[in-house]
Structure 1
Amino acid sequence: MTSPSSSAHEARKAIAARLVDIRKTAGLRALEVAARCGWHKSKVSRLEHARTPPTDEDIRKWCLACDALDRVPELIAATRNADLLYVEWKHLQRAGIKGIQEQTVPLYERTGLFRVYCSNVVPGLLQTHGYAEALLCTINQFDGSPNDATEAAEARLRRSEVIRDGRHRFVLLVEETVLRYRIGPPAVMAGQLGYLLEVMSLPTVALGVIPFTAQRKMWPIETFMLFDVDRVQVETLSAEINITSSTEIELYVRAFDRLRHMAVYGPKARAAITAAVDTLG
C-alpha cells in the first residue's frame, strides 16, 4: 500500500510546480525573483523544490514579483490544504484535545456515508463519555499535552450526535481484540460494551466485528475513517493524516471492503460483545 503521507508530499510538490510555472510564464530567472522579493537565492530554490512550504506572505511576494497577483488566492488555498494533509499530533494538541474534536464537526455534518475501521480502540463515533475520557487522558499523559480529557470527551460525544439524526449512514468495523482491550476500569468497559449493543439497533448503523478466528483476507492495519469518497483520515502514533488523492482513497476503499466481508453482524456480533462483557467479571 502507498505510504499515507505521500498525498501531502505530492500536494506540496504540485504547489512548487505552480510557482515554477508562474516564474517561467513571467520570463524570469530564479535569481531575478529572489532579488525582487528581497530573498537569498537559496530560498527560491527551496520553494521550487518543495523543501520549504511557502507562507501566505511568500506567495504574495512571489506573485507580485511575477505580475501574477490573480494566482494568490488559489495558491494560498492549495497550501493550506496541503498543510492539513499531514499534521503531527504535537502541533494539533498544543492547546489540548478538545479543539480537535470541535474543528471536525462540519466534516461530520456534511458526510453522508461513514466507513470506519478500528484495530485498536472503539470508534470515536461509538464511544461513551467514560471510555473517551479514559482514552483521551492516556493520550494527554503520553503526549504531555494539557489535560482536558473531560472537556474533550464531552466535545467528542457532541460531535458523535450525527449518529442519531437519521441523515447519515455508518458502517463500522472493529477487530474482536478491541472489545477486550481494557481502556479504563471494568465498569467503564462494561458501559462501553453495553452501549455498542444499544447502538447496533439503530437503522442507519451497521456494526461488524472481525472475529479472532476469521480467515484473514486482509491483515489488521491502521485505524482509518472514510468520509464518503472524498477523504480518508488515518491516525498514527505521531500524526493525523488526511488523504484526498483519489488513487490512495481507492486503496482504502478496497481494504475496507475486504475487512467488511470478514466481519460478523447482528446476533454473531452481539455474541462477541456479550462474551467480552463476561470477561469483565
Structure 2
Amino acid sequence: MTTDFQTARESLGARLRELRVEAGMEGKDLAARLGWQSSKVSRLQNGKQTPTRDDLTAWAEAVGQPSVTAELHGLLAGLDMKQQHRSWRRQLAGGHRGRQEIAVRQTETTKLIRGLEVVRVPGLFQTPEYARVLFDSNAEFRGIASTTEAAVDARMRRQEALYDPEKSFRFLVCEAALYHRSCPVDVMAEQLDRLYNLVGQRRIELGILPFGAQLRRTAPHAFWIYDRRLVIVETISEELWLTGDEDIELYERAWDWLSETAEYAAPARRLIGRARASLDLA
C-alpha cells in the first residue's frame, strides 16, 4: 500500500531526476561526479531510498544548481513530517485490525506507557463490548470495511500486557470520560465496573481528573507516551507519531502537570462509583 511518506519520497526523487536531466547528465555520470555507486543515484531518484541533507547538498552542487539546496532540504523536512503524520484514511483502508496489530507490537516493546484520555476509556482498559461499539461507530463514520471482531480480539490480546511483571501503566482519565457515553447503558456500566476494579492493581496507576479541579495545565487532547521514545496523538483525520526529544519532553511535562491534580486510589474509586451510580439501568 502506498503511504503518504512514500508518495512524498517519490516526489522528492522526481525533483532530483528533473535536476539531473536539466543538467544534461546521465545517472552514471552524476554518480561518477559524486563518487557514488550508480545504484544509489537510481534509488534516490526513484524514491527507493531516503536521502540525507548532505546527499541533497551534493546533488545540487553536482548538477550546477547550488541555489536549489534550500528547496531540496525543505522537501526533505516535509518528508520527515509525512513520516510523523499518519492519515487514518490510509491506515484504516482495510479496517481497524491492522492498526490494532501495530498497537499490540508497540505495547510488547514498551516497559512504561503513560497516557491521557479525555472523553473515552483507554483501549488497554476497555471491555470487549465497549471496544466493539467504538470500532463499529468509527467504521460507520469513516465508511470503511468492518473488521470489528478481529480488531476487538487484537485489543484484548494487547491487554495481556497488563499482567506482565516487567511493564507499568500510568494513565490519567478525565472525569468526563466516565459520563461521555457512546454505548448502551449496560455496556457503560460494565466498563465502569472494570475501571473501578483496576484502581490499585499492581503496575497500574489510574488517576481521575475531577470536574471542577484547578489544573496547572489543561487537557486539550488525548496522548500516549511509550517509554521515552514515542508519543502518539490522535486527531480526527490522522495520528501524529512524535519521536523528537523536545516533543517527548513537552508531553512528559504536560502529563506530570496534569497528574498533580488527579485523584488516585480510594478517591478515584469514589469518582468512578459516582458515575456508575448515575446510570439508569431500570
Give the match for residue 43 of structure 1: none
- Structure 2 CA distance for partners of 1:261 and 1:132, relative to 1, 3 Å: same
Residue 167 of structure 1 corresponds to 166
Structure 2 residue aligned with 1:181: 180
Match of 1:56, as an amino acid?
K
Corresponding position of 1:100: 99
Q: Structure 1 residue 249: deviation in Å?
A: 1.0
Q: Which residue in the other structure is 2:121 paired with?
A: 122
User: In structure 2, do the counterparts of structure 1 residues 80 and 148 end up closer, same or farther at CA, with 3 Å as the change threshold?
Assistant: farther
In the alignment, which residue of structure 1 is the partner of 2:230? 231
Give the drift of 1:110.
1.4
Matches within 5 A, 1:52-67: 55-56=47-48
Written as runs of structure 1 = structure 2, the 5 A alignment for 1:1-281 is 30-31=20-21, 35-36=25-26, 55-56=47-48, 83-281=82-280
Q: Is this contact kept in 1: 2:104–2:154, CA < 8 A? A: no
1:37-68: CA deviation from partner (whole Å, max 9, x where unpaired): 59xxxxxxxxxxxxxx9721786xx99x97xx
Instruction: Deviation per CA, 1:153-199: give whole Å up to 9, x if none.
Output: 12111112111122201110000000001121011001111111122
Q: Deviations over 1:98-123 (max 9, x none)?
A: 11011232221111111000112111
TM-score normalised per structure 1: 0.74
Which amino acid in structure 2 is aligned with residue 133 of structure 1? R
SS at match of 2:216: coil
Q: Count how many residue pairs are aligned between Structure 1 and Structure 2.
A: 233
Structure 1 contact 93–145 (Cα < 8 Å) conserved:
yes
| Displacement of 1:36 | 3.1
- Cα deviation for residue 216 of structure 1 reads 1.8
- Measured against aligned partners, the alpha-carbon deviations of 1:85-143 in whole angstroms (never above 9, x if no partner) come to 21110100000001101123222111111100011211111111011011111111111
Q: CA deviation at 1:262?
A: 1.0
Secondary structure of the 1:229 match is: coil
SS of 1:156's partner is helix
CA 1:125/1:81 → structure 2, altered by over 3 Å: closer, same or farther? farther
Contact 1:176 1:212 in 2 (8 A): yes
Gaps of 5+ in 2: 29-44, 60-76
* Structure 1 runs not aligned, ≥5 long: 1-7, 24-28, 39-52, 67-77
Letter in 2 for 1:166: P
Q: What is the one-letter code of the residue matched to 1:230?
A: R
Identity of aligned residues (%): 32
When the two chains are superposed, the root-mean-square deviation of aligned CA atoms in Å is 3.2
Match of 1:26 in 2: none
How far apart, in 1, do the equivalents of 2:27 and 2:140 lie?
45
Shifted more, 139-148 versus 197-206: the winner is 197-206
Q: TM-score, normalised by structure 2?
A: 0.74
SS at the partner of 2:26? Answer: helix
Which has the larger Rg? Answer: 2
